Every structure is written in structure tokens, then in C-alpha cells.
Amino acid sequence: MTLRFPFVHSADCARRRPCCIVAFILLALCAAPLCPAQDKTDPKQPAPAPDVLVLSNGDTLHGKFVSAIAGKVTFHSDPLGDITLSWDKIKELHTEDKFAVLSSKVKIKRRRAVGNLPVGTLEVTNQSLSLRPAGAAPPVSMPVKEAQYVMDEATLNKEVNHRPGAASGWVGAATAGATLVAATQNQYTFSGGISLVRTVPDVAWLDPRNRSSIDFTGSFGKITQPAYTVPATATTPAAVVASTSTKSAIYHADAERDEYFSSNLFTLAQTAFDHNYSQDLDLQQIYGGGLGWTVFKNPKQEADLKGTVQYEKQQFLSGATGTNQDLIGSTFSVNYLMKMKLFTYTQALSFIPAYNNSRAYSATETDTFAFPTYKSLSFSVGTLDSYLNDPPISLPPTKRNSFQFTMGLTYAIKSKY
């Protein structure tokens, strides 16, 4: 980003100087009485009272109640920081700020329904929660086991009305790996990728409005055989064998935007780009749109089915005898995610038929396991299998199937919502 400051000619400064001096004096006079007031604390203004948490063993904590999600209560205490515990470990809770409570017996999925939620201070005693709204509204009571979500008023308004900026609300991972070999042949391979997803809103108690995703995976490598000399013999002279090199390059990038009709059904627009040197595919471009359906979604698993109608262009490397193609087809895909304590597994399957050329179909499968290692770092193992049914005729013959195995370190990415 470049910042440009306006240049003012000295003659202009001379003409405007009296006005600038007057404005500066007025600003100083106005700010003078205000500056000391910012450093002083009104002794008559009492500090806000802390929230009080009484544990089942009788210990009392003073601090700030943060939230409760699915039976897990988060409370902040200055000496201890954030602590998380279940409702059965809490004897009493008293808050000064206002909170909203979503009962497990009431389904709040649309933003319009959120406006009917009661908001007030909390009182928890003997596993019973009481919400006391401001004014003359009667208190709302329920067992704590029915209080599925408890959040402050600011968090409620943010999730309902906030629209994150272009760089906010993204979650995903970046992976990198490398292999270097120096011997009779020199070899190096670099692989990596990045995957980002943003869902708005990002809480389970509201239906998603939209979802955006960006993915890139790539692998590049080269094996080089240096030139060498074949010694002369009694019958043959010495001969120099030229150096040779063999490279591999596989890249995939895609982007997708989903707009939801309901919690499960959405319309989508997508684009995808593929390059595979070993299959003589210079660039495959896809632009399309269609429908998607979330088969199931819970904290541990999620699966989506998608179908599109699209324009597809295949361009092959120069020198291959195959011809470039303009195709009309579809992409039928399945995306699956499973989160376990010891690993996270992701799988993506896609089948891409072409309607104006029945032989020009392709398919891909991606499988990845990520094992948490330290904080945001994970060790990942993955495979990428791609099939192109109509590669160009070339020498050596081009195989239709390309298989890739990768290992690397993965860094979890999460930007502020």
C-alpha cells in the first residue's frame, strides 16, 4: 500500500497561514481542558463489580464470566486467566453484565428469531439458571443442562449483525514439505498448499448465510543426471554423455462461493485450475455453478454433496499431438471432514464428465491426515490421485493416472471474525 501526501506550494502556505494558526489555537484551547480529564479517575465513579463464581467445594472466584457452550463454562480470573469447567463443578454464579441464553429445547436458526431472546443478568444456584431482564419483564428460569449457549450481549449482536471484512473470519491450514538428494543424481522436490474457509456467521446456533473457500496445492521436482565421459577402450574412443533432467509439476487451485437457502441447501459458483506436467496437461480451466447439500454437520463430522454445470477448457503442452478442447460438462463432488482428538481427516472426491465429448472425462481424489504436534503445528500425510481419460498421444506414452504422496508440516490459520 502506498501513502501519498499532498504537496502544498509555499505561496499557498503563506496565504493559508493565518487560518492555520487560528485553527491550531482553537484546537489547543479546546483540547487543553480535556487532556487532564482523560488522566484522572472520578473518585465518585465506582469501579464495576466483578462477577462471582462459587465452586462446588466452596472456593470463590472473582472476575468475568465469558460464556457457556454445550455445558462448558469459561470464566476469567486475573490470577488464573481463563478457566473452563462443567456446570456440575459450579455451585453459584452471579453476573453484573447482561447475557443471552439459548435453550437446547428451542431452535434459533434465523436472525429474526434472535431478537426475541431474553437478555439480562445471570443467577445460577443449585444447578438452576435464572435470567433477570431489565425492567418489569419476569425472570426466565431453566436447568443449567438446558442452557446450551450463554453469551454476552455484544457477542450476540456480533454474530447476528456483523459482516466480516475481506481478510477476516478465515480458518484453514498451510502445509509445506521438501526433499533434497545429492548423489550420482541430484534430486529435489517441493510441495505445499493452503486451504482457507470462511462461514458467515461462524456459530452453530444460526443458519449460515454464505461460505467462501480458497484452495491451492502444488508439487514441483527435478531429477538431474550430470554429464559424464565414457572412458575410451581398445575399440571405441571416449564419449561424452550429455546431462539429462526430468521434472515433475502438479498444481491445483480452486475457489468457491456458497449462498445458503437453508441450513443444508445452498447454491454455489466455483472455478478451478489444474496443471499436470506428467500428463502433458498445460492448463485445465473450469468455470461453473450449481447446487450443494450438506448431508450432515456436527462438531466432529461434516459432509457436502455438490453438482455443477460448467465450461471447461483443456490446453495441452506444446509438442503433444493432442488437441486443445472446449467442453461443456459438470463436476459432481463429495467433501468430507472428520475431527478426532488425535487427528483430522479430510477427503475430497470429484468426477468431471463432458457432455460434448464423452471421452473427455476426469476424476480426482484427495486424502489428508493431520496429526497435532505443538500448538498450531501438525504433521500431515496426504495423497492426490488424478485421472485424465484423454491425454494426448506422446512419446514416451502418457499415462492416464497420476498419483502423488506428500508429507509435511501444517500450520493452522485463524483470523479474527
- Tell me the pLDDT tens digit for each residue of 169-191: 999 999 999 888 888 888 899 99
Surface-to-core class of residue 370, CB atoms within 10 Å of its CB (0-12 exposed, 13-18 middle, 19+ buried): buried
Surface-to-core class of residue 2, CB atoms within 10 Å of its CB (0-12 exposed, 13-18 middle, 19+ buried): exposed
Given a cut of 50, whether residue 19 has pLDDT beyond it is: no
- Tell me the pLDDT tens digit for each residue of 375-404: 899 999 999 999 999 887 777 777 889 898
CA-CA-CA-CA dihedral for 318, 319, 323, 329, to nearest 10: -50
pTM, two decimals, is 0.75
- Tell me the pLDDT tens digit for each residue of 27-55: 343 343 444 444 444 555 566 789 999 99
- Tell me the pLDDT tens digit for each residue of 313-324: 999 886 555 578
Domains of the chain listed by start with CATH number = 51-161 (no CATH), 171-414 (2.40.160.40)
Contact 248, 278 (CB under 8 A): yes
Contact 189, 223 (CB under 8 A): no
Contact 266, 257 (CB under 8 A): no
- Tell me the pLDDT tens digit for each residue of 79-122: 889 999 999 999 999 998 889 888 877 666 666 666 667 788 99
